[in-house]
Chains A and B, each alone.
Chain A
Amino acid sequence: MGEQVKQKKNSKKQKRAVMRTAILAILVAAIGYTIYNSATAKDVSLLEVGDKAPDFALVDLEGNDHKLSDYEGQGVFLNFWGTWCKPCAKEMPAMDRQYEAFSNDGVQVLAVNIAQSDFEVQSFADQYGLSFPVVIDKTKSVMTAYNIRPLPTTVLVNPEGNIERIITGEMTEEDIEGFMEEIKPE
């Protein structure tokens, strides 16, 4: 039994250890990745904070076009709502008041209605005396692009055009004020 045999044996052992470690590592990594994907699958297509806000173009009740990218440099307070949704209706007057306060500071409010009729949206806007533009997403394409599930959902877009925050559910006036402060341009 010379040194050579021993050396050969040792290198064989080493090779085996490397091989086994590599195979196990690959398999464990694949499983880990799968579990990670499954854990995040539910909101995987949902937008995340920091993402570029998908651009869209919608028409408001006065017939004006509103393109999200036109508001770059301003903060955009994007509120998805429907007339049947009570919390949506509740937060509207507060949003309107805060819009009055922040509109001169470069914060824009866009209220995106989900595919309702002009009549319903118009009478709602009249009833609440809304001063910010109200647009209607007739084909639910913006809703789909933003993957909006519960209403109301509010997406805060900062002056760079990125998503600053996503809020689902009703907001208090204090919340709204704080959020507008967040996306106010410097």
Chain B
Amino acid sequence: MENLQCQCGHVNPPGTKLCESCGRSLTEKDQNSKLVDMRYEGTARRSQTYNKSIIDKIWNFFSSVKVGVSIIVVLLVAAAIGTILPQQAFVPATTETAIQEYYADTYGSIGRVYHFLGFHDLYSSYWFIALVGMLAISLVIASLDRFVPLYKSLKNQRVLRHPSFMDKQRIYAEGPGAEDTLQKAETKLKELKYNVRTDKNGLLAEKGRFSRWGPYVNHIGLIIFLFGVMLRMIPGFYIDESLWLREGETRAIPEVPGYYLESKNFELENYSGEGEEEVFGEALDRVGTVAKNYQTDVVLYQKPEDALPGADDSQEVVKEFPIRVNQPLKFDGYAIYQMDYRLDELKAMTFALTNKETEESLGELTIDLIDPEDIYELESGSTVELLGYYPDFSGFEDGEPQTATPLPNNPGFLVELTTPETPEGETSFITIQNTVEPLGENDYKLAFQSVETRDVSGLTVRKDSTLPILGLGGLIFMIGVAQGMYFNHRRFWIQQKADGTILLAGHTNKNWFGLKKDLDQVVEHASLPAYTDQQDEIDKAEKAEKEGEALS
């Protein structure tokens, strides 16, 4: 492409639409149109100008707004598809192969393709990240390519423009003027807070140029935001772990070295509809139970820096705190939230050693299901010896009782009962509501008396060091939006020819109504010729033409 030389003598880079110096239209199309296209001041978008090396070609690709919008559309469609089947975090499978099988088994071949393409974990799939990255590249390059020429053009703009530039502006006026018209216009424009520059027989009044930077500020905010999101993938910046904590348990907090958490108590409180809450009575009758409070009373411990995991060193109480929904325990940049609960897990069972025939009790014993003892001695001189404990009894295998999990969901006990009457002992296998006597009929049994339970709190451990960056990105984004939306870049060009004729043109990037209001004041004060809105006239003419067609 060749450089373009304007009639005024200025040499413009290829792709320029309006002469950088005088404003004349440089292409035939523009010369024939009634109004000029003022986007980017008619400058050449930088990327259009050169297209030689591979780098230039890549650059040009990303500079295109069409490409940017296409990427956004693809991202939206992908995100939409990602909502059709559940994401892997909500699937009841943990290992990679189990997850894959789950999708294949539950959703058939669609599920298999879905998993293969990475839709099951969309935000972590490499092509989705690559697309977001391409959007970031597009944002940076498209902004640079437009901002730099626009900035230069506005910085170097001249006061005097060619009449052909002025009469193609949307707001235009031509007519006789007085000797002091220019001075009066200048005074009034300055009063209206315009920056006014004069040159020979003309003036340029300008206001709110910074509004033109709004979109670019906005994009900087977006880039910072994306940078923050990128940091989340880097270890240490973002933690989101779950922790199930039972009442009475002390556990190391996952991903938080040196800290331990103990649950003292979990509480689920419902609205009772009585007393002060009577006003809710009607609503409660309608919808049933309504939770008022989920709360875990915890104690946070910290071990000394040099303490080893597992070591029973002196741990210090850092804080006692009731964790409630939306009121997390916060410490050292971490936050622990109340997320879930399970009520009434078995904790301890009480039995009475009973003579089967006489129903006479030889005393009671309580077996702690979390930490059972080897032998329980009763006052009567009888003993109950625990031979085996199966917290989640799931049946026998080769005559051996099995446990499915370490949790006391279905406790089974193999016990030997010894009483003064049966000193050689009787063996019994006890599960809930069932007793087996493997070595023959016994005289004694353990009769179930009562049970103690405990609640389990589902907590989430979270740390997000990227929040300030995301906040900053969001703030800059909003500043950019406000800058571009609530402020307007307004300009007036006024020239007085040797015969006293006034040429007037006005331009704004938005809010033409506001521009006209300003201009009305100047026109009145400086007795400028009446202006016309050429866009309105074009619209009117088109409308009339259409109506004419309809009539004929």
Contacts and interface: CB of A to CB of B under 8 A. Distances in A.
- Bound together: yes
A122 B372 CA distance: 11
B395 interface: no
Contact of A83 (B136, B140, B235, B403): B403
Interface residues of A, number: 52
Contacts of A83: 403, 406
Interface stretch (B207-215, B251-259, B264-272, B324-332): B251-259
Interface in B96-146: 124, 126, 129-130, 133-134, 136-137, 140-141, 144
Nearest to B53: A17
Interface string B284-316: 000000000000000000000000111110000
B56 interface: yes
Contact of A119 (B50, B55, B371, B405): B371
A31 B310 CA distance: 40
B311 A57 contact: yes
Contact of B140 (A23, A41, A54, A123): A23
B309 A54 contact: yes
Contacts, number: 131
A16 B13 CA distance: 15
A111 to B, nearest CB: 14
Contact of A16 (B50, B233, B257, B371): B50
Interface string A23-50: 1100110110111011101001100000
A67 interface: yes
A114 B252 CA distance: 12
A149 to B, nearest CB: 8
Interface string B230-272: 1001110000000000000011111101001000000000000
A141 B141 CA distance: 49
B371 A141 contact: no
A58 B310 contact: yes
Interface stretch (B64-72, B386-394, B444-452, B480-488): B386-394
B310 A142 contact: yes
A27 B140 contact: yes
A4 interface: no
B309 A150 contact: no
B405 A84 contact: yes
Contact of B310 (A33, A38, A123, A139): A139
A139 B251 contact: yes
B370 interface: yes
B95 interface: yes
A38 B124 contact: yes
B544 interface: no
Contacts of A84: 391-392, 403-406
Interface string A68-89: 0000000000000011101000
Contacts of B387: 123
A118 interface: yes
B84 interface: no
B257 A145 contact: yes
A42 B190 CA distance: 63
A17 B251 contact: no
B524 interface: no
Nearest to B239: A45
Interface in A100-156: 114-120, 122-123, 135, 137-145, 149-150
A27 B251 contact: no
B309 A27 contact: no
A11 interface: no
Given A30-B230, A139-B251, A144-B309, A17 B55 contact: yes
B308 A56 contact: yes
A21 B58 CA distance: 10
B373 interface: yes
B374 interface: yes
Nearest to A135: B310
Given A21-B55, A84-B404, A117-B370, A139 B389 contact: no
Contact of A41 (B53, B141, B233): B233
Contacts of A138: 250, 310
A56 B309 contact: yes
B406 A141 contact: no
Given A20-B56, A21-B55, A119-B389, A44 B235 contact: yes
Given A16-B50, A20-B55, A118 B371 contact: yes
A22 B192 CA distance: 45
Given A17-B53, A23-B140, A144-B255, 6 more contacts: A24-B59, A31-B137, A37-B235, A67-B308, A117-B370, A142-B310
Q: Which 9 A-B pairs have the closest CB atoms?
A: A31-B133, A141-B252, A57-B311, A141-B309, A37-B233, A58-B310, A56-B310, A145-B309, A57-B308
Interface of A: 13, 16-17, 20-21, 23-24, 27-28, 30-31, 33-35, 37-39, 41, 44-45, 54-59, 67, 82-84, 86, 114-120, 122-123, 135, 137-145, 149-150
22 contacts: A17-B56, A20-B56, A23-B140, A28-B137, A30-B136, A34-B233, A35-B130, A38-B129, A45-B255, A56-B308, A57-B310, A57-B311, A58-B311, A67-B308, A84-B403, A86-B402, A117-B389, A118-B371, A122-B374, A141-B252, A142-B309, A145-B309
